């Protein structure tokens, strides 16, 4: 079901791309400081009806929990820095708790889903209170809200353990407490200005939410065997898709953090840029087992160039210079075409028209997101970023499916997709 949906979206993107003028396809829209081409494409969410597979459930559950980690980080950045879009980030994180509760409803009913959402919303409120009291150094209040925050985690673990015999109560408590420990470490590092530690803690948060997410998925699959079917694809194909999704979702998350830091003038910008550049190396490394070191390094270099051009455009738009940013914008879109050209050379299964449409749509949405932040249109900013995340996962799946088709027996050499990262 998922592949049919992705193919339909890819074809829709192609239709939109081909309807544009060729110059626009290669360079973007008219030469304004930051153009705002937003194709009228509604990217679908995956909905489970009568049945799903374990892999589809795992993918969707991971998406929800990585969203949880991402928007928790973005809200912490806003709260600690005192940014004006804090209410919108808070609302988006609260919506994520609704989404997680809704994911439980097909299996446990509306009442259970709503109760889970309520507990998770309390968790979000607790995280904000912990950050605020730590920032103002109110030790008494900090200890009070921290204790309530951890109690909420234990209560949530108890709530879930009562639903499913596959979820061990002690394991759930340990997992949720571990998530809070890492989130607290992330918040304290930001307050202290320890930027490298802040990034390390966030990476640990992402790793921990994946443990939580996969544990929940496995328990649901074991409890609802008539609804959740086994995935026909091999474990190797599934692992490739999951790993590639993590890398590309990292790409858009850290791109957003860098854009936010640049526009807000935050002091962790350089460290965030370094983390984003590391992600480009990791994406290049991920294809080396299939295409070799030279190709992997070429892809990483092209992706790094994309980041450099992004920063150049954003910085010039911030400065309100008289000279338009046509040149870096044209180079930016041309760089996207270079990435597609490299990929289609090494894999005949990747259609150049489809990849160009996907790549252009990614760049269009990044511009739209940046423009929304420049204009202070925070609601539109959130919508553009959500569309960007959905789009990047579609592109990631197109790439991983193409690799699996080209290499049915697996990688030529040992995979290098990272599980943990070196400290920056």
pLDDT at position 80: 97
Q: How far is CA 83 from the centre of its chain?
A: 21
Please tell me the number of Cα atoms within 13 Å of 292 on its side-chain side.
4
Q: Which burial class, exposed, middle or buried, applies to 388 when counting CB atoms under 10 A from its CB (0-12, 13-18, 19+)? A: buried
Q: Which burial class, exposed, middle or buried, applies to 340 when counting CB atoms under 10 A from its CB (0-12, 13-18, 19+)? A: buried
- Interval 116-135: pLDDT, tens: 999 999 999 999 999 999 99
Residue matched to tokens 């609260």? 94
What pTM was computed for the model? 0.86
Closest CA to 366 of 16, 15, 34, 7: 34
pLDDT at position 4: 38
Q: How far is CA 286 from the centre of its chain?
A: 17
Across the chain, what does the average pLDDT equal? 87
pLDDT at 47 over 90: no
pLDDT at position 315: 84
Q: What is the mean pLDDT of residues 270-294?
A: 97
At 194, is the secondary structure helix, strand, or coil? coil
- Interval 221-268: pLDDT, tens: 999 999 999 888 899 999 999 999 999 999 999 999 999 999 999 999
Q: What is the mean pLDDT of residues 202-206?
A: 98
- Interval 149-188: pLDDT, tens: 999 999 999 999 999 999 999 999 999 999 999 999 999 9
Measured distance CA(165)–CA(186) in Å, rounded: 33
Percent above pLDDT 70 for the chain: 83
pLDDT at 96 over 70: yes
Q: Are 156 and 119 in contact (CB under 8 A)?
A: yes
């Amino acid at each position: 079901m998922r592949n049919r949906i992705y193919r339909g979206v890819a074809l829709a993107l192609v239709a939109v791309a081909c309807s544009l003028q060729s110059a626009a396809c290669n360079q973007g829209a008219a030469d304004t400081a930051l153009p705002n081409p937003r194709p009228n494409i509604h990217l679908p969410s995956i909905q489970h009806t009568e049945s799903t597979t374990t892999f589809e459930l795992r993918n969707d559950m991971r998406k929800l929990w990585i969203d949880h980690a991402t928007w928790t980080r973005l809200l912490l950045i806003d709260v600690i820095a005192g940014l004006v879009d804090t209410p919108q980030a808070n609302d988006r994180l609260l919506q994520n708790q609704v989404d997680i509760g809704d994911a439980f409803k097909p299996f446990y009913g509306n009442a259970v889903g709503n109760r889970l959402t309520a507990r998770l919303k309390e968790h979000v409120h607790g995280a904000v209170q912990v950050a605020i009291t730590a920032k103002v150094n109110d030790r008494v209040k900090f200890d009070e809200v921290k204790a309530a925050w951890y109690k909420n985690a234990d209560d949530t673990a108890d709530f879930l353990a009562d639903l499913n015999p596959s979820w061990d109560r002690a394991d759930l408590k340990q997992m949720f407490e571990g998530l809070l420990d890492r989130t607290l470490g992330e918040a304290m590092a930001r307050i202290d200005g320890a930027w490298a530690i802040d990034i390390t803690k966030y990476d640990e948060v992402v790793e921990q939410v994946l443990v939580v997410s996969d544990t929940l998925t496995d328990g649901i699959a074991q409890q609802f065997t008539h609804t959740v079917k086994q995935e026909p694809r091999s474990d190797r194909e599934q692992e490739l898709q999951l790993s590639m999704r993590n890398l590309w979702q990292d790409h858009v998350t850290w791109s957003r953090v860098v854009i936010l830091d640049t526009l807000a003038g935050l002091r962790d910008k350089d460290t965030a840029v370094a983390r984003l550049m590391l992600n480009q190396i990791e994406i290049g490394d991920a294809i080396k087992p299939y295409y070799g070191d030279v190709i992997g390094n070429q892809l990483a270099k092209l992706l790094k160039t994309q980041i450099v051009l992004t920063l150049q455009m954003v910085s010039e738009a911030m400065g309100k210079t008289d000279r338009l940013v046509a040149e870096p914008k044209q180079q930016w879109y041309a760089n996207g075409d270079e990435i597609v050209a490299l990929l289609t050379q090494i894999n005949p299964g990747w259609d150049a028209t489809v990849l160009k449409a996907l790549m252009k749509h990614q760049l269009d949405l990044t511009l739209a997101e940046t423009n929304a932040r420049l204009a202070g249109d925070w609601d539109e900013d959130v919508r553009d970023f959500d569309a960007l995340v959905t789009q990047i996962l579609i592109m990631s799946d197109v790439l991983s499916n193409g690799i699996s088709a080209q290499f049915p027996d697996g990688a030529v050499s040992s995979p290098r997709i990272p599980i943990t990262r070196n400290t920056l």
